[in-house]
Structure 1
Amino acid sequence: MSHAAAADPYPSLSQAYERFFDPVPGAQAPCAVRVEGPAGPLWLDRHGPADAGLTVVLIHGAGGYGRMFAPLAQRLAVAGHEVLAPDLPGYGLSRGHWTQVDYAAWKRTLLALIEAEHAQRPRPVVLLGASIGGYLAYLVAAESPHVRGLVATTLADPRDREVQAALVRRPWMRALLPALRPLSRVTRGLRIPVRWFTHMDRMSRDPALAALVCSDPLGGGNRVPLGLLASLFDTAPAREPEQFDRCPVLMVHPDRDAWTPVRISDRFYARLAAPRQRVLLEQCGHFPIEQPGLDQLRDALLPFLGRIAQSTEIATV
């Protein structure tokens, strides 16, 4: 992947998310970068020192994009970690020029990004997936040899019928799931508002934040190809959780999540063969902004990253 820095291209709307978080002392503005991906241009934010010993890749879900992660990314950067927050194909500024926008394209894009980063600066990578980005992070971790840690706010497997019931708005829509993949091949570029299909209104316990996400044309107000929704519900990992022992897993799940309740993530989490840790973020909704959950996220995440960085340093001595 080739990289090109640019003046900040994000509209002021993406900065509106900052008002829901406390300021981060010492934080620097992210550097927006356009890279050439395997099948189209990809935008991402870079945070933190380029010479850090560890890189965190933030992976958004169906209502997000990289810039929405800026408050979390800045906290990790101030702690000394490099952070990449890409806009996956079809979202954020990576919405055009992609010949394929589905879960497979998202996975290939992240694998290519990690490979390119490792070729330039070998260092351990930790994936942090939010919402359905948690399952995507798992798919990538199951294939990339450079991923040394996996963090997810949810680990809901979209192939699970109980998860489908939580994600899809109407029972008749769930009945159509087996037909979505062949239908998407016929309809080609048909795009529908993602909020029509899923419970985007349950994004946050704060009505103002939920409304912002739902109206954001880069995120929850976006129109996505039918093929992306179809692929979400039938994409299998390279390794099922019973065979997944490639890296430690930290699940930091909001305990007041009205969209993907803890119980549906627990079904997948309990099957993992890897060393695992489960932390519930108190008072937090699907998009965690509440206290004390935010402090609990920090208190679980920073030591987890520190252990991975330290174990890598020991292994290279």
Structure 2
Amino acid sequence: MPLPQTDPYPALSARYGDFFALPAQAAAPRSELFGWGGSRLRMDRHGPADAGLTVLLVHGAGGYGRMFAPLAAELAAAGHEVLAPDLPGYGLSPAPWQQVDYGSWKQALLALIHAEHQRRPRPFVLLGASIGGYLAYLVAAESPWVRGLAVTTLADPRDPVVQAALVRQPWMRALLPGLRPLSRLTRGLRVPVRWFTHMQRMSRNPELTALVCADPLGGGNRVPLGLMASLFDTTPAMEPERFTRCPVLMVHPACDDWTPVAISDRFYQRLAAPKQRVLLDECGHFPIEQPGLDQLRDALLPFVARIAGLDATASG
């Protein structure tokens, strides 16, 4: 059972809202703790508690749940409940080095969905941003309660082309296989995530990029070495050719120079599920530019509403 908390996030977290147009009179999220694996995940809960559908936001390696409060507020204003957890080791979810791992992140999200569904049955839509897109796919491939998958990217980190785009230096790619055993030896040693990846390509807006890179809860975070290796060797329960569990919406930034749409297309085109691809004009990796931001809302809100309607029809 999640435990309600007073809002503990620093003022820095509120600055992300400056880059979005917030809906009128957006209610503040309710901050909660969810116990998992001997640790606790901090998460925000937005929207009506009795909503017929819950959207679960899945952040990437430079983010955390509160960063996406403006988008969560949009979904909540449309009548949906939204959960925005901080994955282990990010935001305000401190975790031992073993849990700061892509596979452990998947298990944490599966446990959260299961606990939420046990408490109050309803369908879930996953919304994954950045490398959280592939993570959301991993979860959707295993959870029976996920009825829709929306992502800003679908770059498969096992793909050498994707690895070349994500890792800062070619010689670092050669080190990846040894990072897992090395992390077991170093245990408590954590290094800046920006050492390994192109965090400077987070956004086309220099101010937003600087904010993310300086944020100790997100892009300025330090992570165990094993996290980098786990990004590139976590295998899904089913490959995309067999994935028919739910419809997929890819709302990909058109001007993303960190994970270009071409590398997400390599995975997207293999999906067997019903799918829709929308390019967000003028948007970089962190989509805030117009008209792309409106295009994201115009695609996402109807997608979630359709899934809510389909589930309500099936239940009736």
TM-score range relative to shorter protein: over 0.9
Alpha-carbon contact 1:89-1:98 (below 8 Å) kept: no
Which residue of the partner structure matches residue 58 of structure 1? 57
CA distance in 1, matches of 2:250, 2:285: 13
Tell me, which stretches of 5 or more residues in structure 2 are unaligned? none
Which residue of the partner structure matches residue 169 of structure 1? 168
1:275 paired to 2:274 = yes
Report the Cα offset of residue 180 of structure 1. Answer: 1.8
Normalising by the residue count of structure 2, what TM-score does the alignment of the two structures yield? 0.98
Q: Residue 176 of structure 1: SS of its match in structure 2?
A: helix
Q: Residue 99 of structure 2: SS of its match in structure 1?
A: coil
Q: Residue 33 of structure 2: SS of its match in structure 1?
A: strand
CA distance in 2, matches of 1:23, 1:121: 29
Which residue of the partner structure matches residue 180 of structure 1? 179
1:285-296 alignment to 2 at 5 Å? 285-296=284-295
Which residue of the partner structure matches residue 240 of structure 2? 241
Tell me, which stretches of 5 or more residues in structure 1 are unaligned? none
1:307 paired to 2:298 = no
Report the Cα offset of residue 30 of structure 1. Answer: 0.8
CA distance in 2, matches of 1:99, 1:138: 22
Alignment: residue pair count: 316
Which residue of the partner structure matches residue 109 of structure 1? 108
Moved more, 21-30 or 139-148: 21-30
Normalising by the residue count of structure 1, what TM-score does the alignment of the two structures yield? 0.98
Q: Residue 34 of structure 2: SS of its match in structure 1?
A: strand
Q: Residue 64 of structure 1: SS of its match in structure 2?
A: coil
Alpha-carbon contact 1:284-1:291 (below 8 Å) kept: yes
Report the Cα offset of residue 98 of structure 1. Answer: 6.5
Report the Cα offset of residue 38 of structure 1. Answer: 2.7
Per-residue CA shift, 1:194-236, capped at 9, x if unaligned? 0111000100000000000000000000000111111111000
CA distance in 2, matches of 1:100, 1:85: 18
**2:12 aligned partner, one-letter code:** L
Q: Residue 34 of structure 1: SS of its match in structure 2?
A: strand
CA distance in 1, matches of 2:183, 2:22: 43
1:208 paired to 2:207 = yes
**1:193 aligned partner, one-letter code:** P
CA distance in 2, matches of 1:254, 1:246: 25
CA distance in 1, matches of 2:96, 2:179: 23
Which residue of the partner structure matches residue 189 of structure 2? 190
Alpha-carbon contact 2:156-2:162 (below 8 Å) kept: yes
Change (3 A) 1:234 1:97: closer
Alpha-carbon contact 1:142-1:239 (below 8 Å) kept: yes
Report the Cα offset of residue 182 of structure 1. Answer: 2.4
Per-residue CA shift, 1:181-204, capped at 9, x if unaligned? 222222222211001110001000
Report the Cα offset of residue 175 of structure 1. Answer: 1.6
Report the Cα offset of residue 99 of structure 1. Answer: 4.8
Identical positions, percent: 74
Which residue of the partner structure matches residue 264 of structure 1? 263
Per-residue CA shift, 1:28-71, capped at 9, x if unaligned? 01111112113311100000001111000000000000000100
Moved more, 174-183 or 125-134: 174-183
Report the Cα offset of residue 26 of structure 1. Answer: 2.8
Q: Residue 35 of structure 1: SS of its match in structure 2?
A: strand
**2:209 aligned partner, one-letter code:** A
Which residue of the partner structure matches residue 32 of structure 1? 31
Alpha-carbon contact 1:59-1:134 (below 8 Å) kept: yes
Q: Residue 279 of structure 1: SS of its match in structure 2?
A: strand
Report the Cα offset of residue 18 of structure 1. Answer: 1.0
RMSD: 1.0
Alpha-carbon contact 2:99-2:105 (below 8 Å) kept: no
Moved more, 270-279 or 173-182: 173-182
**1:44 aligned partner, one-letter code:** M
Alpha-carbon contact 2:7-2:30 (below 8 Å) kept: yes
Report the Cα offset of residue 97 of structure 1. Answer: 5.2
Report the Cα offset of residue 4 of structure 1. Answer: 1.3
